[in-house]
Structure 1
Amino acid sequence: MNNLDLILVLLSIIIIVSLLVRSIYKKQIEKIDGSEKYLQNVFDVMPNIIIINNGHEIDKTNPAMLEFFGYKRLEDFKNEHSCVSDFFLVEEECLGAVVNSATWLEYILNSQEKLHNVCMKKGGKKHYFLVSAEFMSVDEKERSLVLFTDISEQKELEMQLTNAKLEFDLFMHFIPANILIKDEEGKIVYANDSANKFFNQESIIGKSAKELLPFNIANKVQEFDEKVLRDGKFEEISEFYNVQDALIVVRTLGFKIERQESNQIGLVILDITQSYLDKKELKNKEEIIIAQSRLAAMGEMISMIAHQWRQPISVIAMDANNILADIELEMLDEETLKSGSLDILQQTQELSKTIDDFRNFFKPEQNAVSVFVEDVFKDAFSVMGKSLQNNSISVDMDIKNGTEIITFSRELMQVFINILQNAKDALLEKKPKDKKISITIRDNKNGVSIKICDNAGGIKEDILGKIFDPYFSTKSEKNGTGLGLYMSKTIIERHLYGTLTAENIENGVCFEIQLPKTIQNRIAND
């Protein structure tokens, strides 16, 4: 190969290499241009506000920033504002335009380890942003890249949680109850102020019942907790004496709090000592009044017994006199003696029946029993019937009672007698032409209703609301103690868990009693 051929080969190689280099360079330029376009697209679609600052002013920003402040071009924004800090609002835990003698951006760049928030307003609504900034070099020039991330929803949720916690703490501070939360081991993890005061401690968190209570009470608390975890909830009333030897009565409601890692026990402890003592005192007063009422009733019963015995005793006395007269006249024969003796036996049986009727009224009753209201009323009527009959008072009964109820039948009988006696006294005082008492007994879905009405003219409206007050009576002083209706209402509403009301009707008054089907659940709860 001569020199010319060699030169041609070298030129060919140079041309080929040049073409290859040019092709590679072109592809690199295209690749760079594509990357720049991609980055620009990402920059433009970012929902967060992005600002590039050259140290003096905003050099570049994304559409999100212009849209937030209501501008179409960056130049329009810069003509009216030198910095986004013009829009910063003064808010707690938010940066202002100047922080510790430095601009907000300088402060952020020099405090990278901290989280920085700013608040700005748009359309009358506050927006909160988390702000971060980084140094960057562009064309060998130093720039600052600032990112504003809108955290308004998180901030609003945080404020709601903060307010909810403040409201919860305020509620727990003033609620008149001791609130505790314990873990499964019995350690207290939460206690409100009332609970701390109840145990006379500055804080009981981290402590157990064994550290706060005597050994025997702590064991009962442990048993209570076990029932709560087993059954889901439990409630009881307990009594104990504190270190000052004063009686403390508490009502405790426990409920299980199910959590993924472990269950907890919630406790609401109410100090009911004062209400317990008040209730006990009221009960003692009621028992005294009941005793007075029973004594008054006993006097009325004795009067009725004397009245109902008068006729049988007269018959017995007459038979005895006839027998003695026949003996004196030697005219006594077997038939006459037998007739007189049978008559005496009949009258003594009548006397015995009267004793049984009144003895049932005063028989003590410890437990509620299953009875028909109709039967209880008939027992009451057997006591009052003769007295009503002797005073020309007619009684109309409309009874449709097929449902047994569980109640204290003797106490119900006393109420029936009180109301019947009250109606009898009113009828004798007002003296209507046809003295009448009507009784209606009906079953209903909740139990039984009883109405006892008279035609004695009714009760004056201005005193109708007072007739159930203790010692209030519309009768004359010698005939009324003012306890009958009061005790009737007390028995019906507090012992039999029903209602007793009175209303005027045409020509009279009507007492209505509503009784539940059973009182056993109510007794258990009390």
Structure 2
Amino acid sequence: MQTNINNKDIEAILNSLIEGTILVKNGFIENVNDALIQILEYKSKDELIGNLATGVLIPSTTEKFLEFNKHIFQEVNLVSNYGDLIPAILKINDIKIQEQDYKIVTIIDLREFREKDTLLFKQSRLAAMGEMISMIAHQWRQPLSAMSSILAKLKIRTLKSKNEEILNFNKEFDNINNYIQYMSKTIDDFRNFFKDDKQKEYLDINDVIDITITMIKPILDSKGIKINVNKKEELNKIFTFKNELIQIILNILNNSIDAFEENNIKNGKIDINLSYCENYLRIVITDNAGGIPENIISKVFEPYFTTKHEKNGTGLGLYMCKVILEKHFSGTINAKNIEKGSSFSIDIRI
């Protein structure tokens, strides 16, 4: 006995599937489910029904197959409503409905998996950079220590001399020694930053900002960018992740530095203000780098969105700031334009 299936039954079956699904007859789209509409960013299925299936599914230039959950799927590109190509894998099965031959195409959107792969790759690169910094630190430590010792000996000799010109060298010796100590401290800062310890600790937010600024101070000085921190001595220590907080502040400062250069801004200035707002610590970072174009300011925290193609920008910096804040700090980050520049507001739950 054959059971008749009507259009409502077909739609109910299609919409019960979590994968994007297309019902195809003689090469034309007969029906699609809501999951596919969402993937392709259409408003309704009526915009797709009746069209050739090949208008949505574009095979890769070379036939590719991927293993997913121990099954083999063909890799294709989907064409979204806005003309974007979406990487996907599909499987095609032949079925009969009321003695009619159809093909049912199930589709898995690969974008989320690709994003995860990219983030994992980025994390592995950071781990490799951390190892490299540790090796550099090990190689630099002894020469820096030797240089500091030699300078101390020379300074002692000049102090015994009554030659005025030699005595003037003392100031230069002090400057050189300060640079050596700065290099040594910077090595420690970078090495600690790349450690993947993920341990919470009680932190003075003023110290965290000082460390972050120290890491990029040579860049700020070389570009003539002034940075002002409105420190709050009365701020309590917070129990949180040190390196993640440094990464967030560092990303925003680096974006400001890039904006100064791209917009050819002279006399660049960055202000960092700290305050408490209810049960949140608020860090507001502002600059006079020209601001963010209004047509993209709502997208700056999206993954892979970047305006730095010429500099090989990944579009992950601000996205990672948002992810870290939401995941590890129960916090938020917002951006807005102000007069002559932009303002990033970071709220960290305490």
Instruction: Please tell me the TM-score bracket, short chain as reference.
Output: 0.5 to 0.7
Amino acid at match of 1:514: D
1:411 to 216, 222, 244: 244
1:482 to 270, 291, 315: 315
The number of residue pairs the alignment matches comes to 217
Q: Are the equivalent residues in 1 in contact too, given 2:226–2:270 (CA < 8 A)? A: yes
Amino acid at match of 2:221: Q
Gaps of 5+ in 1: 1-279, 324-331, 518-526
User: Matches of 2:344 and 2:203 in 1, distance apart?
Assistant: 21
Alignment of 1:352 with 2:184, yes or no, is yes
Alignment of 1:509 with 2:332, yes or no, is no
Amino acid at match of 2:272: I
TM-score by length of 1: 0.36
- Per-residue CA deviation, residues 403-442 of structure 1 (Å, 9 max, x unaligned), is 2222111101011111111111111111223211111110
Amino acid at match of 2:305: F
Q: Are the equivalent residues in 1 in contact too, given 2:334–2:345 (CA < 8 A)? A: yes
- Per-residue CA deviation, residues 284-320 of structure 1 (Å, 9 max, x unaligned), is 647516516737987xx98xx9xxx9xx99xx7xx99
Q: Are the equivalent residues in 2 in contact too, given 1:365–1:408 (CA < 8 A)? A: no
User: Matches of 2:118 and 2:278 in 1, distance apart?
Assistant: 31
2:217 to 346, 362, 385: 385
Alignment of 1:473 with 2:306, yes or no, is yes
User: Matches of 1:389 and 1:428 in 2, distance apart?
Assistant: 13
Q: Secondary structure at the match of 2:281?
A: strand
Please name the residue that 2:59 is paired with: none
1:454 to 287, 291, 296: 287
Q: Are the equivalent residues in 1 in contact too, given 2:280–2:347 (CA < 8 A)? A: yes
Higher-helix-fraction structure:
1
User: Matches of 2:309 and 2:198 in 1, distance apart?
Assistant: 35
Q: Are the equivalent residues in 1 in contact too, given 2:129–2:194 (CA < 8 A)? A: no
What percent of counterpart residues are identical? 39
1:423 to 239, 256, 262: 256
Shift of 1:392: 0.4
User: Matches of 1:354 and 1:397 in 2, distance apart?
Assistant: 19
Change over 3 Å in CA distance of 1:405–1:513 after alignment to 2: same
Shift of 1:369: 1.4
1:435 to 257, 261, 268: 268
Instruction: State how 1:326-365 maps to structure 2 within 5 Å.
Output: 347-365=179-197
Q: Are the equivalent residues in 1 in contact too, given 2:260–2:266 (CA < 8 A)? A: no
Shift of 1:444: 2.3
TM-score by length of 2: 0.52
1:396 to 200, 225, 228: 228
Change over 3 Å in CA distance of 1:415–1:342 after alignment to 2: closer
- Per-residue CA deviation, residues 443-485 of structure 1 (Å, 9 max, x unaligned), is 1221200111111111111111221122221124325222211
Q: Are the equivalent residues in 2 in contact too, given 1:405–1:447 (CA < 8 A)? A: no
Change over 3 Å in CA distance of 1:435–1:412 after alignment to 2: same
Q: Are the equivalent residues in 1 in contact too, given 2:274–2:281 (CA < 8 A)? A: yes
User: Matches of 1:393 and 1:343 in 2, distance apart?
Assistant: 22
Gaps of 5+ in 2: 1-111
Shift of 1:354: 2.2
Change over 3 Å in CA distance of 1:429–1:297 after alignment to 2: farther
Deviates more, 1:457-466 or 1:475-484: 475-484
Q: Secondary structure at the match of 1:462?
A: coil
User: Matches of 1:410 and 1:390 in 2, distance apart?
Assistant: 25
Once superposed, what is the RMSD of the aligned Cα atoms? Answer: 4.1
